[in-house]
Every structure is written in structure tokens, then in C-alpha cells.
Structure 1
Amino acid sequence: MTASSDAYSLPVRALNDATKPKHAQLREILEEYCTSTLQAGDMLPGERILEDHFGVSRITVRRAIGDLVASGVLKRARGKGTFVAPSPLVSRLHLASFSQEMEAQQLASSSKILLSARACAPEEVCVFFGSEPSRFHTHLRRLRLGNGLPYAIDDAWYNSAYVPDLLENDVYNSVYAILGTEYGVPITDAIQTATAVAADEECAALLDVTPGTALLKIVRQSQSNGRPVECCSSLYRTDRYTLKTQVTRA
């Protein structure tokens, strides 16, 4: 083992299974290494280090890494290296907060507040809330993180008729929990609309993607037993968020 491979704590494994190609054996070893030793965002050791450590050719290393990139375990960053990819957050289109979805997949959720204010809401929000355009509502914009990595930007409005002083609470955490416990207006149903949009420069910087990258936009109008409480527009990184739903024939 070389000094360079020592620094990465690479596993000591021989590629001696005659029933499998060497690139397949190396792929399995590296996949286990990525899940058991490394974390999302960690850099994989360089090709030369892997060659020397496992005693294989550059072609074998590149094929193993290529397979892991194709399967979503690794991702390449041009000019930077190969990194462990984050596990995509899977939403099954049930009614749950971002925090609940993250917790269900054993990811630590956190938020960075980008904007918090009381202001006049856009026309479409006022129509949903059934309020006059001059009435102030709570505007909360947050960068949503999973294990410290950016997943989404939530731009939400909350109806001041039901949550007049929302910003006096800890909105770094689940607002849905606050709505239910502090104001008695738990979210019971919602209408969601999903579209694809391109990241502008501001959103790209926040989500750590290049401008023009495809993002998933979900607009949610949420109610509490018929009372319009929230109108939220969310932008998700498509490599970190997946929508999954079961459909049946009508």
C-alpha cells in the first residue's frame, strides 16, 4: 500500500474472483467504500492512486468509475475530480414537509433563511388566500439543505389571517409543525403543480449548479380543512430530488 492510499483509508482487497471481470470487482469495492467510509461530496482518490493500490490498469479503474457514475453513486466535476453523489430525495407525492421527507430518508435537514418579511403578496397568492391586495402576509424564502448540501429553494407566503406572527417562531425548522402546534391550522390537503425551469444565475449560485441547469419547480397551494394557509413555490435540484407516484387505471 502506498503512502497516498493510506491517506484515503482505502480497503485492502484483492481482485481475485475468477468469475467476475476485474472492473466489476473494483466497482463493487469502490461502491462499498463510498457508502461505508465516504460521505456525499467527498472526493474519490485519483485514478493513479487506485491503480497502484489495487494493482490494476488505468482502463479497469476508468471503467469501474464510469459504471458508478452511470448508476448515480459518483459524479464528475470537470477540472475538479470525481465525488460521491448525494442520495436523491424521493418524494412520493404524499403530503409531507421537507423536514419529514428528509427524516424519512435519514438525512439531516436544515435551512438558511434568504428572506423573511411581512409584505403585500402577489396577485395569485391574494386570490388563493381570498384577501385584499393591500393586506400584509408573511413572506419566507429559505434554502433547504440535506446533510449540509443544497436541495431546494422554498419561496412561500403564509396567510396572516391564520398565522399573523409566524416569524416570531423558529422558522429554520419545519414550518408545517409550527402551523399545527402553534396555530391549530395543520396542513390537511394541497394542490401541487410541477414544471421544469432553467436555473437563473441567482438560483444557480444558491443550489451550486451552473446557470441554465434544469430544475424541478413545484408550486403548492395548501389548506387546513378548507382554510387557505400557504402558497409555496419550490425549486429543486433534479439530481437530488425525485418524484415518484403510483398510478392506477381509471
Structure 2
Amino acid sequence: MVRSMTGLSSASGLPVTTLDDPSKPKHAQLREILEELCTTKLSPGDMLPGERVLEETYGVSRITVRRAIGDLVASGVLKRARGKGTFVAPSPLVSRLHLASFSQEMEAQQLQSSSKILLSARATAPATIAEFFHSAATHTHLRRLRLGNGVPYAIDDAWYNSAFVPDLLENDVYNSVYAILGTEYNVPITDAIQTATAVNATSETAELLDVEPGTALLKIVRQSQSNGLPVEWCSSLYRTDRYTLKTHVTRAAL
């Protein structure tokens, strides 16, 4: 590690230390200082001091600063926002492909989940969804922006079968709908088929998720059942820097 920190610069809040370890390049020493700053003093979403401040504080060149920051961006500690600056990156939400609500996944990562309702209505479902529900009746359409610690992670665009949850919108759908399905309607989600693809953010989804238009997003379509009853059809768009799919695979028997 870099020589221990002796204090903080009153002007920038940066650790006061010197890059005088002859066994390490200066960019590596600066990278360690910045990484420790990100993990001990700053929070996800906080802005890193500018390149000029870093140059002056540590007496290094612009090239050294950019290389240290570039290494941290590559490792996921920092993220760049064009025209805005460099920020501490949030820890990605990891899904292990088991049945869990967004709220449960966030809780497992020690993040506070919340939602912003974008649309809630009873409407005629598209043909694909009506076919899955085995019903052409009107169903509940619920579109929500899902947030973790107040920052956007995903957009859920879901339909719920009115045959089993006729008055879903009379419940607190800002929180876990899966909990409502189980406790209020006795149709807990027991199994689902998920399909994952990659899509690019439209101007609308980019604004909601706070990314640039055209940014790669992870799209997951989930067709969920409760003991054989078709209850939910949901299409979710996830920020790939804040959501990771993790699976355990085994070799198939020959």
C-alpha cells in the first residue's frame, strides 16, 4: 500500500500523502490512494475531484492521473459520465437466477429498494401476453422504475392476470408485488421462464435510467406462474453497470 494517510487536504478533501514508494510506478500509487478514498470516504455516485486537482495535490502529470483513473474505471470502481465528470460507481446488483423479487435482491445486497410508478392501469393486453394468460380480458398493466439507494437500476413493464389478481392496484405496488401476490391473493410465484437479451437504450429509457441513448441494456422477459397458474408477464430493462447475472453450470452427462 501507499504510505499511510496523514490527513485530508482542506481544499479538496483528498488524502494528504506522498507518492514516494520506489518499488511502484506513480500511477499505481495514485490508483491505490483513489481506490481507498472511494471505499472509505466517498459513496456511490459521489464525484471524484478533477484531474487538475489531483495533479496539484500529488505533484504528478496529467498522464499519470488519467492512467490511475482509467485503471479504476476498467475495474468498475469509477465510472465516467460524458460532460459531467468521474464518479464512484455503484456496486452491481447480482442475480443468481433464482426466483426472487427486485426488493429481495436489493435487500440481499444491503441496498434500499424503492419504485416510481410510470404507468398503472387496467387494459387489453398484447396478443402474446393474452395467450400466456389464456384470456383476452383486460388485465393489470404496471410499469415501474426500480431504484436502489435512490438511483435507477431497472424498468419493470409487467402485466398481471386479472383472473387471479383482479384488484392488484388497490395494494401498495410501490413495494414488492411478489409479496402481495403471495399474502393477499394466495398465488405466490413458484416458477418462471426467463429469456435474456441485449438491447440499446431508447431516448425514453435512457432518460429514465440516467444513461446515454444507445447504451447497452440487459432485457429479461419473465413468464411467471403460481403452481401452474399464469400470473405475471414482465419485461425488465437493467443497467448493465448495476446488474449482473451469475449462474452455476455443470457438465452435461454424455
Task: Please classify the TM superposition score into its range, dividing by the shorter chain length.
Answer: over 0.9
What amino acid sits opposite 1:37 in the alignment? K
Match of 1:143 in 2: 145
Aligned equivalent of 1:64, options 49, 65, 68 = 68
CA deviations over 1:34-78 (Å, ceiling 9, x no partner) = 122112221100112112222333222221111101111111222
SS in 2 for 1:179: helix
State the 1:15 CA deviation: 2.5
Q: Which residue of 2 aligns with 1:100?
A: 104
**Would the alpha carbon gap of residues 7 and 229 (structure 1) be closer, same or farther in structure 2, given more than 3 Å must change?**
farther
Aligned 8 A contact 1:5 1:49 in 2: no
1:238 is matched with which residue: 237, 240, 243? Answer: 240
Moved more, 101-110 or 186-195: 101-110
Q: Please give the alpha-carbon distance, in whole angstroms, between the structure 1 residues aligned to 2:122 and 2:109.
A: 33
In 1, Cα distance between the equivalents of 2:90 and 2:159?
Answer: 29
1:7 deviates by 4.4
Pairing partner for 1:6 from 6, 10, 14: 10
Instruction: State percent identity of aligned pairs.
Output: 83
- How does the TM-score come out when normalised to structure 1? 0.93
Tell me the residue number matched to 1:35: 39
Paired residues of 1:204 and 1:210 also in contact (CA < 8 A): yes
The code of the aligned residue for 1:63 comes to R
Which sections of structure 1, spanning at least 5 residues, go unmatched? Answer: none
Residue aligning to 1:45: 49
In structure 2, the gaps of 5 or more residues are 1-7
Write the letter of the residue equivalent to 1:85: A
Residues matched between the structures, number:
245
CA contact (8 A) 2:203 2:213 kept: yes
- 1:124 maps to what in 2? 128
1:83 maps to amino acid: F
SS in 2 for 1:176: helix
Aligned runs of 1:50-199 on 2, under 5 Å? 50-131=54-135, 133=136, 135-199=137-201
Residue 8 of structure 1: how far off its partner (Å): 3.6
SS of residue in 1 equivalent to 2:10: helix
Q: Shift of residue 209 of structure 1?
A: 1.6
RMSD: 1.5
- Alignment partner, residue 224 of structure 2: 222
Give, in angstroms, the shift of residue 206 of structure 1: 0.8
**What TM-score comes out, normalization by structure 2 length?**
0.92
1:246 and 1:78 mapped to 2: Cα distance? 36
